[in-house]
């Protein structure tokens, strides 16, 4: 689902990098014309370098991530947080300590 959202929201000439694992045999629905005519680049990535990490931190710091955080848990409730994510009941859960 995140890949589909990324492809729908990326700007013209932009890039979508798929770096998270998906369940086996997962499928996504895309409109190939939107990729073609919007000149979108789609890249799969399995690993990164420290420079990639630094650049990612720079880019993320420009975005308000608050809307993506659906759950907050104290560190003591880490198991509950993991269960929420496993059950796909939230987009992003964070641990506070």
* Phi (first) and psi of residue 70, to 5 degrees: -100, -20
What tens digit of pLDDT does each residue of 13-57 get?
Answer: 999 988 877 788 888 888 899 999 999 999 988 777 889 889 999
CA distance 59 to 51: 12
- Answer for the pair 15, 45: CB distance below 8 angstroms, yes or no: no
* Phi (first) and psi of residue 17, to 5 degrees: -110, 125
User: How many secondary structure helices (H) and strands (E) does the chain include?
Assistant: 4, 4
Q: What is the pLDDT of residue 21?
A: 75
CA distance 84 to 73: 10
Percentage of the chain with pLDDT > 70? 100
**What's the mean per-residue pLDDT of the chain?**
90
| Residue 77: pLDDT over 90 | yes
Say how many C-beta atoms besides its own lie within 10 A of residue 7's C-beta.
Answer: 20
This prediction has a pTM of 0.46
Q: What is the pLDDT of residue 20?
A: 74
């Amino acid at each position: 689902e995140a890949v589909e959202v990324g492809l729908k929201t990326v700007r013209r000439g932009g890039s979508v990098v798929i770096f998270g694992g998906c369940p086996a045999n997962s499928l996504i629905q895309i409109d190939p014309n939107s990729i073609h005519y919007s000149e979108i680049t789609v890249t799969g990535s399995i690993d990164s370098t420290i420079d990639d990490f630094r650049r990612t931190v720079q880019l993320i710091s420009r975005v308000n991530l608050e809307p993506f955080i659906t759950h907050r848990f104290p560190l003591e409730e880490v198991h509950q947080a993991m269960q929420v994510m496993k059950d796909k009941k939230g987009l992003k859960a964070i641990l506070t300590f």
